[in-house]
Structure 1
Amino acid sequence: MSETTELGGFLRARRAELDPSDFGLPPGVNHRRVAGLRREELAQLAGISVDYYTRLEQGRARNVSDAILDAVARALRLTADEEAYLRNLAAPKRRRQSTPSKRVRPELQHLLDAMQVPAFVFGRYMDVLAWNRLANALSFDFEAMAPEERNIPRLFFLDDSAAEFHPEWDKVTGEVVANLRAEAGRHQDDPQLAQLVGELSVRSEEFRQLWARHQVQDKAHCTKLVRNPVVGDLDLRYETLRLPDEDLAVVTYTAEPGSESERRLNLLASWVTEAARAG
């Protein structure tokens, strides 16, 4: 992934999504050659020259200051995740490089096992590196997979069974791609991450189309509907806890207290306990 190519594609995609009428400009593509704001309009909103913004969008600007990035982010109305992605692309030398973690400490696995809710550990490439029994019963059977198969983007876009577990397919696939792009922004010089994006782009038309949208969303917290084969639909909320200096994230899933989903999740926990005793 070329930083200059990614930066230009991201800025153009965000610029195209802005509604000119929100800025008192003529709306609609009938009055414009392209959707969204023109470069000169965005430059004016950011308070920078058209030439400088053009060089930034073309990846030719060097040593971009924080003030310029602040101005461009405000003009584009970026979210916090999108602004972080912009900074990673525009100022790659400021990023702290790290080696991806692929192993989970025993103490961390003990923490997962002690939790009463589904919990996973994710690595840089959205690999599932560890889980507890309830997490393994939620959708995919990670224990039955080879380590190289336990990758969320590959499962979602190359495994037909993934759709069976996720009724809100468009929502969840969009989130997966947006999460992966956030990781790509932090680690553009990682050849394994570039290889993953390349493989999915070649093998999945759906992934290729979603990747071209340049949507960015760090995995943090949100809701997800999971269709479990044992207890049925579960409305869950996930929370992401990033571990310092380990390039790992712990993701937990909980249900609303008193809800039908909580009852079903408790039923699934009982089923997992009984299966473990029987096995």
Structure 2
Amino acid sequence: MDRAQQLSEFLKARRARLRPEEAGTESFGGRRRVPGLRREELALLAGVSVDYYTRLEQGRARNVSPDVLDAVAAALRLDADERTHLHNLAKPARTRRRPARPQQVGPEMRQALQALAGVPAYIIGRRLDILAWNEPARLLIADFPSLPAAERNMARLVFLDESAKDLYPDWEAKARDTVANLRLDAGRHPEDPQLAVLMGELSLGSVEFRRLWADHHVRGKTRGRKRFAHPRVGELTLDYVAMRAPDDPDMTMMIYSAPPGSEAVISLQLLVGLSASATPGVPDHPAGRVRQM
């Protein structure tokens, strides 16, 4: 993936998102031919020359200082994830390292995962690959063991799995978050060849993915609430929290739990009961039927 092109498209998208009245530049006047701020307005807000900002937005600036990037981020009103993404994209290629060898989930992480037998939990890595899971997660999201290793990927499940829209009643929000997570990963590892292959498959296989990718939305995995429509325990709304592995910033454990006193408490207990009685190797959930490309 071309770093300079990513940087250019991201800055243009964020500049188009910011309205002149929000930035206090509506008094500049003149007919606007583009949505959002003009380049000269953004440059003024960031305290840099128009020529310099133009070169930055075109991906032609070299060795951009962190202070300049922070000034541009402030002018664009970027949040913390977007600011990190901007810094990643602006790093010189020679300072970047290709992703390390395939990620391995250590015994401590696996032990913690299995100890969470009462709630769905799984470990996600680079490119949103699903690296490990417990039984409740298998029953809730997808029958991971039945999938080829290359297809155990959250983005592939969301956009190429025919049952994803049934599993996630708020599929549009889930899809948008998935793309935002993937774009943040792309900023950290733009030279990852496996990511390029994944992007190609998603772009060819999903119109929705192409539409959302063009928005340049960026968001890290933190915490939130997700609705599921499970075929055996019904609809349940669960809170989730993302816990990053201490020795690998690209590995995160996702843990789902039911809000205290909610109806989801009973549904989750039913799901855990299913996991206790599940027969290994026998799918209990229709999810995981990924379309072959």
Taking structure 1 as reference, are residues 241 and 94 closer, same or farther at Cα in structure 2, changes over 3 Å only? farther
TM-score, L = length of structure 1: 0.93
Distance 1:48 1:34 in 2: 21
Aligned twin of 1:11 = 11
2:272 alignment partner, one of 269, 272, 276: 269
Q: CA RMSD in A?
A: 1.9
Q: Partners of 2:236 and 2:44 in 1: how far apart? A: 48
Distance 1:83 1:22 in 2: 19
C-alpha distance in structure 1 between counterparts of 2:25 and 2:110, whole Å: 55
Question: What is the alpha-carbon distance in structure 1 between the residues aligned to residue 103 and residue 215 of structure 2?
Answer: 29
Query: Contact 2:160–2:206 at 8 Å: present in 1 too?
Result: yes
> What is the aligned partner in structure 2 of residue 59 from structure 1?
59
Question: Which whole-Å CA distance do the structure 2 matches of 1:237 and 1:47 have between them?
Answer: 42
User: Paired residue for 2:130, among 114, 128, 131?
Assistant: 128
Distance in 2 (alpha carbons) for counterparts of 1:10 and 1:192:
22
Contact 2:98/2:192 (CA < 8 Å) preserved in 1?
no
The aligned length equals 276
Which shows bigger deviation, 18-27 or 207-216? Answer: 18-27
AA at the equivalent of 2:35: A
- The equivalent residue for 2:163 is 161
User: Which SS does the other structure have where 1:238 is aligned?
Assistant: strand
Could you say if the C-alpha distance between residues 149 and 4 of structure 1 is closer, same or farther in structure 2, counting changes exceeding 3 Å? same
The residue that corresponds to 1:257 in the other structure is 260
Amino acid at match of 2:82: E
Matches within 5 A, 1:156-235: 156-235=158-237
Residue 138 of structure 1: aligned partner = 140
CA contact (8 A) 1:139 1:227 kept: no
Q: Which range moved further: 238-247 or 268-277?
A: 268-277
Is the 8 Å Cα contact of residues 100 and 123 (structure 1) preserved in structure 2?
A: no
Gaps of 5+ in 2: 283-293
2-side partners of 1:271 and 1:258: how far apart?
A: 21
Letter matched to residue 69 of structure 1:
L
After TM superposition, the structure 1 stretch with the greater mean CA deviation from structure 2, 104-113 or 125-134, is: 104-113
- Deviation of 1:25 after TM superposition, in Å, equals 3.5
Gaps (5+ residues) in structure 1? none
- In the alignment, what sits opposite 1:103? 104
Q: Using the TM superposition, give the Cα deviation of residue 120 of structure 1 relative to its aligned residue in structure 2, in angstroms.
A: 0.3
Partner Cα separation in structure 2 for residue 69 and residue 265 of structure 1 = 45
Q: Which moved more, 1:12-21 or 1:101-110?
A: 101-110
**In 2, Cα distance between equivalents of 1:195 and 1:146:** 16
Residue 143 of structure 1, CA deviation: 2.0
Mapped contact 2:42–2:75 kept (Cα < 8 A): yes
C-alpha distance in 2 between matches for 1:173 and 1:51: 37
CA offset digits 1:185-230 (Å, max 9, x no partner): 0001111112211221122211111111111001121211111111
Task: Report if aligned partners of 2:121, 2:255 keep a CA contact under 8 Å in 1.
Answer: yes
Which is bigger in relative contact order (C-alpha 8 A, separation at least 6)? Answer: 2
What is the DSSP-based 3-state SS (H/G/I as helix, E as strand, rest coil) of the residue aligned with 1:34?
coil
CA shift, 1:6, in A, is 0.3
Q: Which deviates further from its counterpart, 167-176 or 139-148?
A: 139-148
Q: Is the 8 A contact 2:25 2:41 kept in 1?
A: no
Q: Taking structure 2 as the reference length, what is the TM-score of the superposition?
A: 0.89
CA distance, structure 2, for counterparts of residue 191 and residue 138 of structure 1? 31
Supply the AA of the counterpart residue of 1:241.
M
Post-superposition shift, 1:269? 1.0
> Judging changes above 3 Å, is the alpha-carbon distance between structure 1 residues 95 and 255 closer, same or farther for their aligned structure 2 residues?
farther
Q: Provide the C-alpha distance between the structure 2 equivalents of 1:146 and 1:97, rounded to a whole number of angstroms.
A: 25
Task: Work out the percentage of aligned pairs sharing the same amino acid.
Answer: 51
Match runs of 1:3-82 below 5 Å? 3-26=3-26, 31-82=31-82
CA-to-partner distance for each residue in 1:156-182, whole Å, 9 max, x for gaps? 111111111000011000000000000
